[in-house]
Structure formats: C-alpha cells, structure tokens
Amino acid sequence: MTLGFINAVKFTRSTQHGWRNLIKPYLISTIGIGTSATVGDFICQYLQRNKQNKSNVTTQISSSCILPWWDRQRSLVMCISSTFVVAPWNFTVSRIIENLFPGKQGIQILKKMLTNTLLAPIGICLVFVSVTLLNGRSFHDAEIKITNDLWKTFFTGTCYWPFVSFINFRFIPLDYRPFVGSLAGAIWNIYISSIANATTDKSKQMLTETKANFPGGISEKTMTVLQKIRNILNQNKKDL
C-alpha cells in the first residue's frame, strides 16, 4: 500500500515536471508561429496591393489613416488561426516525430522529413477550415476550399518545406525547431494567406462592385427576383 502510494507520488511529480518542461518551448512555438502568420499576411496584402495598383484595380480602403490598404481583420484571422489551431498541431507533431525517429542520422532525418510531408495535408486543411469559419463562412465553404486548393498548396509546399525540414532536423535543437520553422513560415505564409483568403477577398470585391453599381444598395433577394424576371423575358422572346 505504502509502496503504491510512493510510486503514485513519483509518477505525479515526474508528470508535472514533464509538463513544466513543455511550457517554455510551447510558448516560444506559439509566439513564433502566430507572429510569422501575421507578418506573412501583412506582406501578402502589401504585395497584392502593389499588384492591384499596377492593374488599376480599385481596392477596399480601411478607415484608418495609417496603412489604409491593410485589412487588419484578415491579419487577425490569420493570427488566431495560427496561434490556436496551427501552433498546437505543429508542436504536437514535432514531438511525436522526434520520439518516433530520434537522432540526427541521415536515415532518421529522411524519415522525419517524409512523415512531415505525409502529414502536411492535415495542417493545410486545418488552416483552410479555421480561416473559412473565422471569416463567417460555413463548413460547406471550407469543404469547397479544400477540394479546390488543397493539392495545389500541398505540391507547392513540397518544393519548399523539405529543405527547411532538413536544416531544422539536422542542426536545430528540438525545443527551438517550431520557432525556426515559423521564421521560414513567414515566407510560406505569404503564399498560404493569399490562398486561404482568396474566396473571402473575391466575395468582398464583388460586394464592393455591387454597391458601386447600385448606390442605394441591393439585397440578394432582389437580385434573385431580377434574375428570374430576366429569364422569363428571355423565354418570352424565344417563344415569339
């Protein structure tokens, strides 16, 4: 009885010690990933703004006089998604992979890189779903997003992340790998932000164009009715 109690106390203490050791690297990982996503989205918006200016495309201007082209809501969505969805996933996966394939031998690094690549579609789906939902859209919209953009994003990532993974697994200590990965992720997030927000940005642009064409505003129901009237008139012309 006494021996069992002592073993239970030792197990509890070791568990608490283990969790405490995870707090610091988890915080570093979360801060790094959240920051890289925000910075990546900011740069993405800046590049998109320059591209639109060259094409003479009208953009929706923020009410703020500082950086009026910056959509802060979009950057906030990317930050929340990365901090509360992507960071826990990446942190957990990196720990599991290290436990499965410990060491820095060539074959072990290759196994880690391959496992990372195979799990990448799950991480991409998490980004697409969380960003879509945070933008007020439905799971059906997220499903469409995944169907249309998942594999294109995945194959683009396979041209970039294996090199980053090799540097990370070969030279960087375990606790700092997510942070180093997040630095590389700032570049990747420029691309992932443009893909994840493509549908939302197109919807905003269409809404802006509709309001510009109809100063008084027009509802979706009214648009549907007008479309039906147009179809009826076209059908009558064919009958005549």
| pLDDT at 222 (0 to 100) | 62
Using only C-alpha atoms, what is the Rg of the chain? 24
Give the pLDDT score at 94.
Answer: 87
Residue 106 in 3-state DSSP? Answer: helix
Report yes or no: 36 and 82 within 8 Å, Cβ to Cβ: yes
Within 10 A of 116 (CB to CB), how many other CB atoms are there? 22
Per the confidence metrics, is the pTM higher than 0.95? no
The H-assigned helical ranges of 101-160 are: 106-134, 139-157
Per-residue pLDDT of the chain (240 residues; tens, 9 = 90+): 565 545 454 444 455 555 567 888 888 889 888 998 999 899 989 988 887 777 665 555 555 567 888 999 999 999 999 999 999 998 999 889 989 999 888 899 999 999 999 999 999 999 999 999 999 999 999 999 999 999 999 998 898 888 888 888 888 887 777 678 777 888 888 888 888 877 655 555 544 444 444 444 445 666 665 666 667 666 655 555
pLDDT recorded at residue 100: 93
DSSP for residue 86: I
Instruction: Region of 138 please: left (phi>0), alpha (psi -120 to 50) or beta.
Output: beta
The structure tokens 């439905």 sit at 138
Instruction: Say what the pLDDT of residue 133 is.
Output: 96
Give me the residue spans of the domains in the chain. 2-196
Identify residue 20 by its one-letter amino acid code: R
